[in-house]
Structure formats: structure tokens, C-alpha cells
Amino acid sequence: MKLDERACEAIQRGEAVLGIELGSTRIKAVLLDGEHRPVAAGEYRWENKLDGKIWTYSLQEAMEGVAAAYRAMASSLHQENGVEIRNLAGVGISAMMHGYLPFDGEGRLLAPFRTWRNTITGQASEELSRLFGFAVPQRWSVAHLYQAVLNGEAHVRELRFLTTLAGYVHWQLTGVKALGVGDASGMFPLGADGAYDQRMLKQFSELVKDKGYPWDIGELLPEIRRAGEPAGFLTERGAKLLDADGLLRPGAPFCPPEGDAGTGMVATNAVAPRTGNVSAGTSIFAMIVLEQPLSRIHPEIDIVATPAGSPVAMVHCNNCTTDLNAWVSLFEDFCRRAGLDISQDALYSAFFDAAEAAEPDAGGLTGYGYFSGEHITGFEEGRPLLVYPPQARFSFANLARSILFSSLATLSIGMDVLREEQVKIDSVLGHGGLYKGGAAGQRFTAAALSTPVSVMETAGEGGAWGAGLLAAYMAWKPEGESLPDYLNGKVFDRMSGSRLDPDPRDVEGFQAYVKRFKAGFPVQRAAVDRLGKGKTEGGDA
């Protein structure tokens, strides 16, 4: 982006803020100017790996990716505007929530990073939910910790610190072991005061007392900070980790590190009651800010918090665009072998355009894009499937719509709980990869939720922009101004977007699709049980 002289001078004076997010397929760095506009961006592509039965990422690659994304951002800024970044007004870190990152007293990782994508803590989740009287999802850090206790894993005795991926990167850059309240709410349940729930901390301590561990659960968890509070400063070591060229100086203040759910709420201005957002990438989740508590515990619903501490109902599904990406890669391979020079972007556009032109119910095709397990529908592992009867209309358009409907079907099933609770939603905004391919993702999300869905012009920037906004709020907010007021009055008052109401034909077609989707669960169960676990009657799976 070509900037005017005034903007360049402000960056050189150190008046810009930086947001970094470690997403499931890319690490992104976004620089924001004083008007909260993204003025430079860089990214690094990475992927999770299935190590045995554990979905994981390398922490070394995480830090290398952060540096690479920063370098790409700084390089594009310098090439296009001749500007070098030496100081920053603020920095925000965001990353995938939940999971298990256990460290010993010397800061050594004790077990490979167990990400949100793992569904290996069913026993711990059930026992803790009963003990606490609070739904503890399998993804949460405390569920992973207790499962490691139940498994008798030797490393648990050496444990001295637990954190999330955002907390880890923040720690490396600042030396501070802290988390934003939103990210912390996905590690251990919070009380009404926004701190870790004291009753549940005591219950957990009693639960593992007979093990004789030399730690208490409260000592393991990061300190909690709310949006707007400072949470450390860039150290000399952190500056070198972030900027290998050595231009960036230490001292930049950091806002509390947040999970991707929290920065997604900020990036879509969904931090006030009755607002919500849908984040759709490798995973898909809806965040609805509550006016009042739900009437009872629902295992499908996480109760977490906004970065400012307001209660949020979260419907999280492990699978979304991975199956879509696999199909596009298949067609890209076909085109290459057929001697056709078609870009991947063009293939995505064709896929989304075809889906919009398809039959309302996808012509009888039903897809299960389950690359990993789904707790909402009761599958501990995934087996991607495409199922259709002989009379189905198998066409490219119907296939495309089936794949996109599949990415939203499990979310819709989870959202049924909130509909039953009569949770009021005034607005829903979408962001993430599903909304970058034209109107199809937005249109089908509206059908899946039976509610209007808006997409902002910054939808593709996602959590990195949201992390930058949290850094800006910390650095520039007037005394006493709340996060919702700051976003409404200083950021989103000048942002444009588009709103789509649900099309009745799409709603009817999606409902028919979900009915088939549910009816086919025994097929998915048979695939999980019979395929991919070694020898079957049909030979090697």
C-alpha cells in the first residue's frame, strides 16, 4: 500500500501498532496506523502435523513464523514507502485458543503442543464437568492436564507452568507470563470477577491431592489481564526474535495476549451483549455475547469471555475449510495434468460461484468434512466422506454447495442449543477464509443460522487486525472508555461492510441438507470404527 507523507512520518516516529496472529494455516503480522487502518501486512504459511494421534505444531516454527511474517510486513512497507520500523506504540499477540503447553521450571517444553484439534480428553472432560458443575470442553487446557494425570504421564510431576500459544509467544517477546481474560477463559473456568474460579481451583487441587504433585493448579496458570491493561514490554531478546535485522528497538508496550476467539470478536465489533461473530477457517466457531446466563449446562457450549470480561457463549467446531481446500487442490492437480493454466484463486472463485448456482439442498449430495473429531456430534476422530444415493444430481455445482454446507452443518447443530435457550442476537459478523471467496460463504452462513450476516471490508485481515486493535485500545484509549465504546466510536464508525438476509430457499435447502447430514451419522461412525485403524476385512485401510 502506498502511503502519504504524513502516514510515513507517523510510522517513523513510532506511532503505529502491530498485531500478530498465529492461525491454523498462517501466521500474519499487520501494521495499523493512527486511524486503525491496516497499512502493511506479511504472513508465513504453516500446517499442523498428526504426530501419532496428536495434532501439533512446532514451537520453534511458531517463533520462526512470527519473525518471517514480521519481516515480510516490514519489507513490503520499506519497498513501497521507504519506511523502516524502529519503534512501535503497541503490540498485540493472538493465537489459536486452548490446548496444552506444559513447561518445567527452566522453561523447557515437557510434551509436544497438544492443540485445540485433539479430541483425546473425553474422560477428563466428563469428570471435570461433573465435579465443577460447569461444561469443560475437551479442548481446554485443564482437560488436557487432567487427562495427562489420568494417563499417568511422567512429565506432569515436572510441570511448573501452563499457557496457550498466544501466551507462549508473548512470554518469549516480553518475559511476562500473562494472558488476556478471553484466552484465560479457555484454559480454566472463570468466576464472576473475571479471575480463575476459586471454588473450582480448590476442587481440582483436592481431586489430584493423592498424587503428591509438587505444584498447585493456581500456581501453574498465567496471570490474567483485561483489555486496555499493559502486559509487559518488548525486551532486547524479544526484539531480536521478532526482527532479525536488528532495526526494531525494545520497549514497545504489549496488550494482554488473546485467543483467536477474542481477537475475532474485536475484529468484527462483537463485544457488546446481543452481538456475535462467526470465525470460519480451519475450524469454525460462533461467539455470542450473552445478556444473561444460560438456564443450564450444555456440553455443546463453552462459556468464555470477551477481552473485556463479558460472558460469551461459544459454539466451536473442529472442522471447516480443510475439506474445501482438499477439493480445490484436487481440481488444481487435474487442471495441471490436463495442461490447463488456472490459478488456485480462480479455482476457489469457480467453486464458490458454482455453489451459489446449485440446487438449494445440493441435489442430494452430503459431505462430512471431518478431518478430525467433533465433540458436538460425538466423534473422537474424523473420516472425510462424500455420500450420495444413485438418484442424486451429481454435478460440480451441487458438489460445491455440499462441501460448503458441510463446513457449516455442525455449527448449525451446536447453535440449536442457543435457539432453544432463546438467546437474542441482534447482529452477526463473519470473518476468516470462508468469507473471502465472494458472497457464497456469507449467504450460506445466513441460511445456516437463519439470521442476517454481515461481512466487513477487513474480514480477510481477521485476528491479526483484531490484535492490533487491542494494542491500539491499550495505547490510545481515553481514560475510562470501555472497549465497546472505543470500537464503536473510533474504529467501526468509518468501516464499510455488506449485510445479507437469509434467502428462504437457501434456509429450506440447508435444513434438508442437515437432516440428511444427521441421518448419515451411522455411516461416519462406521468409517471411524472401520477405516484408518490398521487392518480391516478389506485389507489395509
Residue among 150, 182, 147, 157 at smallest CA distance from 105: 157
- Residue 12's SS3 state is helix
CATH number for domain 1-97+164-169+232-267+462-497, candidates 3.40.50.720, 3.30.420.40, 3.50.50.60, 3.10.20.30: 3.30.420.40
Tell me the pLDDT tens digit for each residue of 108-156: 999 999 999 898 999 999 999 999 999 999 999 999 999 999 999 999 9
Helix (H) or strand (E) holding 225: strand 223-225
pLDDT at 88: 98
Q: How would residue 458 be classed by pLDDT, with cut points 50, 70 and 90?
A: low
Q: Are 169 and 63 in contact (CB under 8 A)?
A: yes
Give residue-wise pLDDT tens across range 348-372: 999 999 999 999 999 999 999 999 9
How far apart are alpha carbons 62 and 177 in whole angstroms?
A: 17
Number of H helices, E strands in the chain: 18, 22
Question: Taking the chain, what is the end-to-end CA distance rounded to the nearest angstrom?
Answer: 50
Q: How far apart are CA 456 and CA 312, in angstroms?
A: 21
pLDDT at 379 over 60: yes
Distances (CA, A) of 345 to 173, 263, 279, 326: 35, 26, 21, 14
DSSP 331-368: HHHHHHHTT----HHHHHHHHHHHHHTS-TTGGG-EEE
Specify whether the CB–CB gap between 276 and 289 falls below 8 A.
yes
- 402 within 8 A of 513, measured Cβ to Cβ: yes
> Residues 53, 151: contact at Cβ < 8 Å?
no
Q: What's the DSSP call for residue 20?
A: E
CA nearest 36: which of 469, 484, 467? 469
Phi, psi of 337, deg, nearest 5:
-70, -25
Instruction: Give the span between the Cα atoms of 213 and 211, in whole angstroms.
Output: 6
Could you tell me if 254 and 91 are in contact, meaning their C-beta atoms sit under 8 angstroms apart? yes
Decide: helix, strand or coil at residue 454: strand
Measured over all CA atoms, what is the biggest interatomic distance in the chain, rounded to whole angstroms?
71
Looking at domain 99-163+188-221, its CATH class is alpha beta
The string of DSSP letters for 129-179 reads: HHHHTS---TTSHHHHHHHHHHTT-GGGGG--EEE-HHHHHHHHHHS--EE
Which parts of 241-397 are beta strand (E)?
A: 258-259, 275-280, 284-289, 302-305, 311-317, 366-368, 385-387
Lowest mean pLDDT among 24-28, 273-277, 428-432: 428-432
Q: At residue 459, does pLDDT exceed 80?
A: no
Rounded to 5 degrees, what are φ and ψ at 438? 90, -160
User: How far is the C-alpha of 329 from the C-alpha of 336, rounded, in Å?
Assistant: 10
Q: In the chain, where are the structural domains located?
A: 1-97+164-169+232-267+462-497, 99-163+188-221, 269-458+503-535
Cell reading at 26: 498462517
CA 531 to chain centre: 29
Give the span between the Cα atoms of 26 and 94, in whole angstroms: 12
If you average pLDDT over every residue of the chain, what do you get? Answer: 93
pTM above 0.85, yes or no: no
CA–CA distance, 518 with 410 (Å, rounded to integer)? 9
Tell me: the pLDDT tens digits for 312-346? 999 999 999 999 999 999 999 999 999 999 999 99
pLDDT in tens, 285-298: 999 999 999 999 89
The mean pLDDT of 5-23, rounded to a whole number, is 94
CB 414 within 8 A of CB 439: no
Q: Do domains 99-163+188-221 and 269-458+503-535 have the same CATH topology?
A: yes
Are the C-beta atoms of 142 and 208 separated by less than 8 Å? no
- Letter string b/e over residues 33-49, b meaning 16 or more CB atoms within 10 A of that residue's CB: bbebbbbbbbbbebebe
Please name the residues in contact with 111: beta carbons below 8 A apart, sequence gap of 6 or more: 100, 102, 148, 153, 155
What was the pLDDT predicted at 535?
Answer: 39
Whether the pLDDT of residue 500 is over 50: the answer is yes
- Type of residue numbered 269: N
Q: What's residue 534's pLDDT? A: 46
Joined together, the cell numbers standing for residue 283 give: 475450524
Give residue for cell 450444555.
298
Q: Does domain 269-458+503-535 have CATH number 3.40.50.10420?
A: no
